A and B are shown apart, each in its own frame.
Chain A
C-alpha cells in the first residue's frame, strides 16, 4: 500500500447534481428479464431507484451544475479558484480535456490549473489525494474537485449483470488549505493484472471504433447482450478482489496511523451494491449506523458515489463545527482500491440539485 499524508488541507464545501429522470428498478426491463427475477435481484442488490441523464446531458453538465451551486452557496469568488480536477470515465470528447472546458463554463480565471483524471469507482481517493498534493504546492488557496459519470450510457441494458446497478451523478467538492483541516491519510493500491474485470474494450486506440464494435451480440449462455464498446463487469471476481483486499488495506491504514476503529465516526464505502457493501461493512467490523448509504435511491454512480452519499445522507452531520473522523474505502477499475482517513467539519453542503 502506498501511503500519503497531508496536513492543513481539506473539504470546505460540497454539492451534487443528479438527472431528474428517475428509473424504478422494480419495473425496469421486467418484460425482458421477468417480474420475479427482477424483484429477487432488486432485493439482493438493494437498488430501488437510479437517475438516468437524458441524451443531451453529459457528466460535465452534472458536475457544472453542482459546482455552480457550490460556488454560490459557499460565497466563493471564481477568481479565487486555482485548480480544477475532473475525475471521470465520461469525458465530453476524446480531447480536449473536459476540465479545460469546465474552467471556461464556470468562469474561472485563466490562471486556473485544469486537467482530467481517468478513474472510476475509486475516483474520490485519487481526486482528493491529487488536489491535496497540488494545492499546498501552489501556495494554498481553493480548488474544485469534480467527479461525475453518465454510467447509464456506458453499460448495456440488455446485460443483466450490469443493467440494474449503475446510475448517473456529478459532484463538486471545494478544497481549501488551512490549519483547521488537520491531518489526513490515504492508502492507494493498483493491480493492473486484473484490468479486464471492469472494462470497455473498444472505442479507444487499441480497438478503435468501427461498424463491428457497435454491434450488440450475445456474450454468454444466459443470453446477455452488449457491443464491444459497452462495458462489462465480472462481478464475482470484483467481489473476490474487494473482500480479499479492502479489509486488509483498511487495517493497514488504521495501523499505520495509530487509529482505533472506535475513533472513527463514519465509514463511507463506494456504493457498489447493498449485498457487497453489507458484507464489507460487517467484515470491516463497523455497525450499519456508522455506514451511511445512498445506494437505494441512486444506485452505483461510480466515482461520484461517495461524495453523493455525503451530500444526500450527511448534510447536517458534515456541517457541524466539531470535526468528524471519516474512513473512506473505494475500489474499482484498474483494478484499484484504497482508503482514506479524513476529518470533516464545518463543511457547507448544498442540497442535491436536479437537472
Chain B
C-alpha cells in the first residue's frame, strides 16, 4: 500500500472531510475521537497485519510517521 492509498483509505473509512497530506497531524483533526482511533487500529491491522496499541499510534505525529511505522 502506497502512502497515497493509505491516505485515501484513511479519509474514506474514518470519514475525514479535510484535505489530508502526509504531513497532517491526524490527532489534531477537528473530528478526531476515540472512535477514529479504533478505526485506525483496524485499518492498520487489516492492511499491514500489525496490531498497534494506542500508545504506539500516539508515538506517531503525522500520517507519514504512521505509514512508516505500519509499513516498516
Q: Which A positions have Cβ atoms within 8 angstroms of B? A: 40-41, 44, 160-161, 222, 234-237, 239-240, 243-244, 275-276, 279, 283
Contacts and interface: CB of A to CB of B under 8 A. Distances in A.
Contacts of A161: 34
Contacts of B45: 243-244, 279, 283
Contacts of A44: 35
Nearest to A245: B51
User: Secondary structure at chain A's binding surface: helix, strand, loop or mixed?
Assistant: helix
A236 B51 contact: no
A161 B52 CA distance: 19
Interface of B: 33-35, 37-39, 41-42, 45-46, 51-54, 57
B51 A243 contact: yes
Given A236-B53, A236-B54, A243 B41 contact: yes
A235 B51 contact: no
B53 A240 contact: yes
B54 A237 contact: yes
Contacts of A222: 33-34
A236 B42 contact: no
B6 to A, nearest CB: 18
B38 A275 contact: yes
A244 B54 contact: no
Contacts of A240: 41, 51-54
Contacts of B57: 236
Contacts of A279: 42, 45-46
29 contacts: A40-B35, A44-B35, A160-B34, A222-B33, A222-B34, A234-B54, A235-B34, A236-B34, A236-B37, A236-B41, A236-B53, A236-B54, A236-B57, A237-B53, A239-B38, A239-B41, A239-B42, A240-B51, A240-B54, A243-B42, A243-B51, A244-B51, A275-B38, A275-B39, A275-B42, A276-B38, A279-B42, A279-B45, A279-B46
A275 B33 CA distance: 15
Contacts of A237: 53-54
Contacts of B34: 160-161, 222, 235-236
Contacts of B51: 240, 243-244
Give the 3 A-B CB pairs with smallest separation, nearest first. Answer: A244-B51, A236-B54, A236-B37
A217 B41 CA distance: 28
**Max count, chain A CB within 10 A of own CB: residue among B41, B52, B57:** B41
Contacts of A236: 34, 37-38, 41, 53-54, 57
A41 B46 CA distance: 22
